[in-house]
Amino acid sequence: MSGFPAGFLWGAATSAYQVEGSPLADGAGPSNWHVFAHTPGRTHEGQTGDEACDHYRRWRGDVDLMRTLGLGAYRFSISWSRVLPAGTGQVNGPGLDFYDRLVDALLEAGIEPCPTLYHWDLPHALDGRSGWLNPDSAQWFADYAQAVWRRLGDRVGRWATLNEPWVIVDAGYLHGTHAPGRASTHDAPRAAHNLLRAHGTAVRAYRALPAAQRAQGTGTIGIVVNIEPKDAATGREADLAAARRADASMNRYYLDALRLGRYPQELAEIFGADWPGYAADDPAAEFALIGEPIDFLGVNYYTRSVNRHDPEAKPVCASPVPQPGAEYTDLGWEVHPDSLRRVLCWIRERYGEIPLYITENGAAFPDPEPVPGAGPGGRARLADPRRVAYFRSHLAAVREALAQGVDVRGYFAWSLLDNYEWACGYAKRFGLVAVDFATQERTVKDSGWFYRDVIAGGGEIPES
Ligand code: FCB
């Protein structure tokens, strides 16, 4: 017995701007990430997603790679500005054609397509209309989703609305390190609220679709959040409070709103005079919209953090404290597998029963060059033992959560491919498959073969 139930979904994930390249091809409009990455000083060495993994043109080969790994599912995202170049209005058929072909190829390969509608790349034209600060953004998003469902809804039965609202808000609106590059305690909570309203508006629109557009009536919809346990560095009240604030701002902010119909009280302290209470005429109706029932919750997990009170780290006033003896990834994230188990158990305890999918989990480590001919079947070999160990320990943590009764239905490794890691550019490598960005050559890493063996064995984790 592997500890993973029959029917458990084994997948890998990517997102549009990180892998596709050709951002303006076939009538697409620019996204805010396109504009942000092309703004001097915003990203590592000025790198952009102009080429990325060239997945927009190499998708056939990439589907073959997924088949080689034995994936049961592929989580990707749809680029809004390919579908609606100006964000609203005219639908761009050729942009949808790309996803249409991809979906058909996946289905033919026996791989379930699991699209996310929004993984951070807002049409630039909508930023010109205040982006997520505009209350109309909720309807823009639902209209875009409907355009996608009209084309793909009959064949795709598992939709996610947003990827990681916390990152969108924290990096994009509070600290300005991601598109659209705003840094404002006034803007951040307003963007968060509109993102949650957008999610709810799209869920409602999905429920109202004709059955034929909901994968023969059985289609499901959920949202993806990133959750990171926030421990306190000491037992001192100031550090405990800092950890609580960090947890409120990242974890409970979104899940409390989605599942409990309220925002955590710490947010008023964090945002001070900028906290809107929240700006709504009818709070009950707003939270009914945000809390519109969903079919599953996607959870992205990478790390935990241990926090101390830090008055300089505004507005949350919590800073992570390095842990002696702990292992850290190339992004400085602590490797802490038991926190994945904790997250899964905490969600059930605090928010009740809901099917969970781990929609991202993985690690960036520096990789060596592939060795020609040294891999399976005469392929090149790339040895990445630390990433293998990361997957091994985190899969064991998922198995633990399952044994404790948590309803986990699937796991998606981040990422299928080395890709454009946002403001960090191409330097940070998360792939099961290495990409040589000069030649676009792909090499399955040892971690990719390891994952293939896990999948082939129904979740049995091979001995090292
Ligand atoms: C997550 C993002 C994903 C990727 C990983 C490393 O926050 O959803 O796009 O950047 O982190």
User: How far is ligand 1, taken at its centre, from the CA of residue 237, in Å?
Assistant: 32
Locate tokens 């029932």: which residue? Answer: 293
Supply the residue whose CA is at minimum distance from atom 10 of ligand 1.
Answer: 421
Tokens of 362: 């993985």
pLDDT given at position 189: 97
Long-range pairs, 229-233, Cβ under 8 A, ≥24:
229/304, 229/305, 229/339, 229/342, 229/343, 229/346, 230/304, 230/305, 230/307, 230/318, 231/304, 231/305, 231/306, 231/307, 232/306, 232/307, 232/308, 233/306, 233/307, 233/308, 233/321
The answer to whether the CB of 226 falls within 8 A of the CB of 164 is yes
Residue by residue, DSSP assigns 167-195 as HHHIIIIIS-SSTT----TTHHHHHHHHH
**DSSP 3-state percent helix, strand, coil across the chain (nearest 5):** 45, 15, 40
Other Cβ atoms less than 10 A from the Cβ of 295: the count is 15
SS3 96: helix
Mention the CATH class of domain 9-360+397-437: alpha beta
- Compute, in angstroms, the gap from residue 432 CA to the centroid of ligand 1: 15
Instruction: Tell how strand 441-444 and strand 433-436 pair up.
Output: antiparallel
Q: Which residues share a beta bridge with 371?
A: 381
Kindly state the percentage of the chain with pLDDT values over 90. Answer: 97
> How far apart are alpha carbons 93 and 242 in whole angstroms?
49
Residues 289-294 have a mean pLDDT of: 98
Better-predicted residue by pLDDT, 280 or 402 = 402
Which alpha helices (DSSP H) does 248-366 contain, by range?
253-255, 266-271, 283-290, 338-351
Which residues is 305 bridged to in the sheet?
230
Residues 228, 292, 334, 360: which is the catalytic one?
360
Cβ-contact 420, 46 below 8 angstroms: no
Identify the H or E element spanning 45: none
- Say if residue 31 is exposed, middle or buried (CB neighbours under 10 Å; 0-12, 13-18, 19+): buried
* Nearest by Cα to 116 from 162, 153, 62: 162
Rounded distance between C-alpha atoms, residue 431 and residue 74, angstroms: 14
What is the predicted pLDDT for the residue at 197? Answer: 98
Question: In the structure, what pLDDT confidence band is assigned to residue 279 with cuts at 50, 70 and 90?
Answer: low
The pLDDT of residue 463:
83
pLDDT digits (tens, 9 = 90+) for 104-116: 999 999 999 999 9
What pairs with residue 112 in β-bridges? 73
Per-residue model confidence (pLDDT) at position 381: 98
Please write the tens of the pLDDT for every residue from 44-74: 999 999 999 999 999 999 999 999 999 999 9
The pair of structure tokens assigned to 241 is 């409070």
b (16+ CB within 10 A) / e for 409-440: ebbbbbbbbbbbbbbebbebbbbbbbbebeeb
- C-alpha–C-alpha distance, residues 326 and 309, integer Å: 21
Per the structure block, which two tokens stand in for 82?
């390919």
What was the pLDDT predicted at 217?
84
Q: Is the pLDDT of residue 419 over 70?
A: yes
Does position 281 have pLDDT exceeding 80, yes or no? Answer: no
Cα 229 to ligand 1 centre (Å): 17
Least confident of 280-284, 351-355, 384-388: 280-284
The rounded Å distance from CA 380 to ligand 1 centre is: 27
Rounded to the nearest angstrom, the gap between the alpha carbon of residue 222 and the centroid of all alpha carbons in its chain is 12
Q: What mean pLDDT is predicted for residues 433-445?
A: 98
Q: Are 233 and 239 in contact (CB under 8 A)?
A: yes
Q: Whole-number mean pLDDT of the chain?
A: 97
Structure confidence at residue 244 (pLDDT): 98
Radius of gyration of the chain (CA): 21
The catalytically annotated residue of 164, 266, 286, 400 is: 164
Best residue among 18, 43, 300, 357 to mutate for probing ligand 1, ranked by most atoms within 8 Å of CB: 300
Give the C-alpha separation, 140 to 197, whole Å: 11
Q: Exposed/middle/buried for 104, CB within 10 Å: 0-12, 13-18, 19+?
A: middle
Q: What mean pLDDT is predicted for residues 441-448?
A: 98
Task: Report which ligand 1 atom has the smallest distance to the Cα of 422.
Answer: 10
pLDDT digits (tens, 9 = 90+) for 122-152: 999 999 999 999 999 999 999 999 999 999 9
360 as an active site residue: the answer is yes
Told to judge if 353 belongs to the known catalytic residues of this protein, a careful annotator would answer no
Q: How far, in Å, from the CA of 378 to the mean position of ligand 1? A: 32
Q: What is the largest CA-CA distance in the chain?
A: 65
Cβ 212 vs Cβ 300: under 8 Å:
no
**For residues 429 and 424, what is the distance between their CA atoms, to the nearest angstrom?**
10
Structure tokens at 248: 């409120």
Q: At a CB cut-off of 8 Å and minimum separation 6, what does 439 contact?
A: none
Side chain identity, residue 201: T
Q: What is the structure's pLDDT at 282?
A: 82
464, with CB counted inside 10 A (0-12, 13-18, 19+), is exposed
Residue nearest to atom 9 of ligand 1 (CA): 15
In degrees rounded to 5, what are phi and psi of residue 194?
-65, -35
Tens of pLDDT, residue by residue over 167-178, are: 999 999 999 999
Buried b (16+ CB within 10 A) or exposed e, 245-272: bbbbbbbbbbbbbbbeeebbebbebbbe
Which residues sit with their C-beta closer than 6 Å to ligand 1?
Answer: 15, 18, 163-164, 167, 226, 300, 360, 414, 421-422, 430
